[in-house]
Structure 1
Amino acid sequence: MKLANTPITHHTFNGHPFYLKRDDLLHPEFSGNKARKFMALLEDDYPNVTTLIGYGSPQANSLYSLAALAKLKGWQLEFYVDHIPSWLKQNPVGNYQASLELGAKIIEVRQLPSALHPSDYIQQIRKPDDQCLFVEEGGRSPIAERGIKQLAQEIIDWKSSHSISALTVALPSGTGTTALYLTKHLTPHNINVITCACVGGKEYLTQQFDGLHEPLHPVILTTAEKAKHQFGKLYSLDYQIWQALKRQTGVEFDLLYDPYMWQCLQQWRVENPNKPLLYIHQGGLLGNVSMAKRYKRKIEA
């Protein structure tokens, strides 16, 4: 299976044209930016590995992607989380449900005697051996560069074939790994990368960039509002933008990350009305199931 050459489509949002890189269409189970980050793990041989180990949220996109990867490779996934909400245990949905169906073992660290953070539990108690492959939260690792470099090359080839002299690539960031490696490989080709901090603020995202020791960083956009956009919190404007995107483009976007990036882009467009823009759709649609239910409960309350 090769992860490459997803289509690029043309759309308009709020009167502004843009191109859309459809990485949500990479593979029915293994798609989006996590598939790009974990491409090296899919392609390389690990003859001694039987267990894949990760950690994060029980609704993380990385959980589902790692579960799909483990299934494709014939491995067992152990995914460590701090806790699983009781409502989710009773009514599994989204990434959590799909990962269980793929055979993932989702381990609730809070229920164990150690009371450690999942990453500390893995390192101090689980202690992965040579039959285990450990992946940092969200795929924040140099192993991600190979798949993201390939994504960058697809964008470079498309830009050249369409005779576009300068291009701006936009995508939201969690750990910022995808945006950082795209910047490294796209900047020499007159392609700028812009992003926003969806987890923590601008300072946190810059720290994540620094941790991967790359000199070139993408531009981090923010909105005019002084209050920080808190990850996972419900914002009426996010839901409205998400609905408007689907209505105007015919494409479903991620409800957790994409709306804030589009808020930032609307302000960016004021100063850059004519710059060609390529937005990267990074998948994450399974997470919309639980997020949309949360929004509906809020709206109906």
Structure 2
Amino acid sequence: MKLQGLTSIRTIKAMKTGLCLAQFSSHSQGLPKVKLSDEELMSKVLNRRWMLHIPDTEIHQIKLSPSQGRNRDGPSGNLSFLNNTKPYFGDDLMEKGSEDSFFYVVRDDLLHPLVNGNKARKLDALLPLLVDYSVTDVVTCGGCQSAHAAAVAVSCAERGLKSHLLLRGEQPEILTGYNLISTIYGDITYVPRSIYAHRMNMLKSHADLVASNTGHILCCNDILESSLSAQSSTSSSGHIDDHGNTENHPRKVVIINEGAGDVVALLGVIRLVQYLCQSYLLGKERQIKLVVDAGTGTTAIGLGIGAQCLGLPWEVTAVMLADTIDAYRQQEQKLISDFRTRFGFHLTDHCLNEVDGVVHWVARFHQRKFGNVLEGETETCQQIAQQTGVLVDPVYTLAAWEMATQLSREEMEGGAQVVMLHTGGTLGMFGLAQRYKSYFRKLKEGSSSVKAALH
């Protein structure tokens, strides 16, 4: 096995693709200095092939009203919800005269039956690059019920690539949810927690095994760098054949970090921001509070960078689920730095160069160890599903729903408009039902009591 690098010729290729027509000034390191408008910046950064044919997604409006007879703790307690699936995005989103607060939900959970939510957005720019560079194998990791691992497995299989998934812990007795999907679509290896704790060494060691003696391990950042230099929809490295045949070619293996927490994952999220800020949707002038749950934090950071690059008056609020605020801020600084490095040619003199943070990190209403479910949360998810048709899970999206509910009530008096990004991941409910049998059994018991009352 050997590590294969891709030589960067960004400056030369960029000059040849029309950037030479812009106004240049000297740069301290000899690179051209370009001043771009927000639209020009996005057109350069997002000029590529995508996994999703279009960035479009549905947006629903959730109206809140007081509910009699409910006495649950938390932002959703004593409330009922009503879903308007065809909301109007006019000049006045606040619906003057309405006594009820509301928020919008970006329904990215509807993008794909298995690859949806932020998982689809984070793979949006990466998957075409893997095909362009004739990648044969992908190595990634996640928890036993990782939606990310399942999304990688399905997306790779759809394109003739082989996925190798390292899942933390032991194989469950019954395969269900995302674990079942990962097993069907990918090559699964269960890894002891002591080894999984050292993720990078684990991923590199497994990539070495997959590449064997004749294969190559490609770096995601090098592939991205080369694609930026080409400024075209295809790469000079060629394409994988229609059947993904690797018999006559050495393997090319790419490592995708846990949760796709790489700079290339930001691009699909930024593309979503560009779509949402169109004049017939959320627009570019309104004050928006965009709420999202944060696992690795990559999606929230991508939303924040997109808002900054487009000059939007949007505040991204991320509900921390898996780490400390210091760890999230460290990841935020790292990804912003990586983004500046990879797109520095385009970002010269842009306001993002002076920004240290683009996300407002907040704690969950009921804090707990990551992955835990508290009593009453399954019933809240059931209530939301029955009243709105929107399925949220108690680990991730319920946290964002509760924060959006709280903020919408605070902003009711003419403040910012609240928008929640639904990050998908609802198949994880099957795994939770195995782990928290007593909580999910209460859903069945509640249904039985209603039937008994009717008779």
CA contact (8 A) 2:289 2:315 kept: yes
Is 1:155 aligned with 2:276? yes
CA contact (8 A) 2:373 2:394 kept: no
CA contact (8 A) 1:4 1:26 kept: no
* Residue in structure 1 matched with residue 410 of structure 2 by the alignment: 271
CA contact (8 A) 2:266 2:301 kept: no
Counterpart amino acid of residue 411 in structure 2? N
Trace 1:1-301 onto structure 2 (pairs within 5 A).
Answer: 2-13=53-64, 14=79, 16-44=101-129, 45-85=131-171, 88=172, 90-102=173-185, 104-110=186-192, 117-124=198-205, 126-127=207-208, 129-130=216-217, 131-157=252-278, 165-187=286-308, 188-213=311-336, 215-223=356-364, 228-274=367-413, 275-298=416-439, 300=441
Structure 2 unaligned residues grouped into runs of 5+:
1-51, 65-78, 80-99, 218-251, 338-355, 443-455
Task: Go from structure 1 to structure 2 and tell me whether the alpha carbon gap of 1:213 and 1:150 turns closer, same or farther (over 3 Å shift).
Answer: closer
| Deviation readout 1:175-197 (Å, 9 max, x if unpaired) | 11111111111141112111110
State how far apart, in whole Å, the 2-side matches of 1:111 and 1:160 are: 45
State how far apart, in whole Å, the 1-side matches of 2:423 and 2:206 are: 33
Task: Go from structure 1 to structure 2 and tell me whether the alpha carbon gap of 1:118 and 1:222 turns closer, same or farther (over 3 Å shift).
Answer: closer
**The structure with more radius of gyration:** 2
More helix per residue: 1
- Measured after TM superposition, the shift of residue 145 of structure 1 is 1.8
State how far apart, in whole Å, the 1-side matches of 2:298 and 2:196 are: 29
Coordinate RMSD, CA, aligned? 2.7
State how far apart, in whole Å, the 2-side matches of 1:252 and 1:300 are: 18
State how far apart, in whole Å, the 1-side matches of 2:306 and 2:111 are: 21
Task: Go from structure 1 to structure 2 and tell me whether the alpha carbon gap of 1:283 and 1:158 turns closer, same or farther (over 3 Å shift).
Answer: farther
- Measured after TM superposition, the shift of residue 29 of structure 1 is 2.7
The percentage of aligned residue pairs carrying the same residue is 23
| Deviation readout 1:117-139 (Å, 9 max, x if unpaired) | 44312224543534011100001
| TM-score, length basis structure 2 | 0.59
Aligned length: 294
| TM-score, length basis structure 1 | 0.87
Task: Go from structure 1 to structure 2 and tell me whether the alpha carbon gap of 1:3 and 1:295 turns closer, same or farther (over 3 Å shift).
Answer: farther
- Measured after TM superposition, the shift of residue 39 of structure 1 is 0.8
| Deviation readout 1:124-166 (Å, 9 max, x if unpaired) | 4543534011100001000112211110011111565668622
CA contact (8 A) 2:319 2:364 kept: no
Task: Go from structure 1 to structure 2 and tell me whether the alpha carbon gap of 1:124 and 1:216 turns closer, same or farther (over 3 Å shift).
Answer: same
- Measured after TM superposition, the shift of residue 109 of structure 1 is 2.6
State how far apart, in whole Å, the 1-side matches of 2:408 and 2:60 are: 19
CA contact (8 A) 1:3 1:26 kept: no
Task: Go from structure 1 to structure 2 and tell me whether the alpha carbon gap of 1:174 and 1:122 turns closer, same or farther (over 3 Å shift).
Answer: same
CA contact (8 A) 2:147 2:428 kept: yes
Higher alpha-carbon deviation: 36-45 or 137-146: 36-45
State how far apart, in whole Å, the 2-side matches of 1:116 and 1:199 are: 14
Higher alpha-carbon deviation: 198-207 or 20-29: 198-207
State how far apart, in whole Å, the 1-side matches of 2:144 and 2:196 are: 17
| Deviation readout 1:203-225 (Å, 9 max, x if unpaired) | 23222212213533211122566
- Measured after TM superposition, the shift of residue 270 of structure 1 is 4.8
CA contact (8 A) 1:22 1:281 kept: yes
Task: Go from structure 1 to structure 2 and tell me whether the alpha carbon gap of 1:233 and 1:278 turns closer, same or farther (over 3 Å shift).
Answer: same
Counterpart amino acid of residue 123 in structure 2? F
SS at match of 1:285: coil
State how far apart, in whole Å, the 2-side matches of 1:115 and 1:27 are: 29
SS at match of 1:189: coil
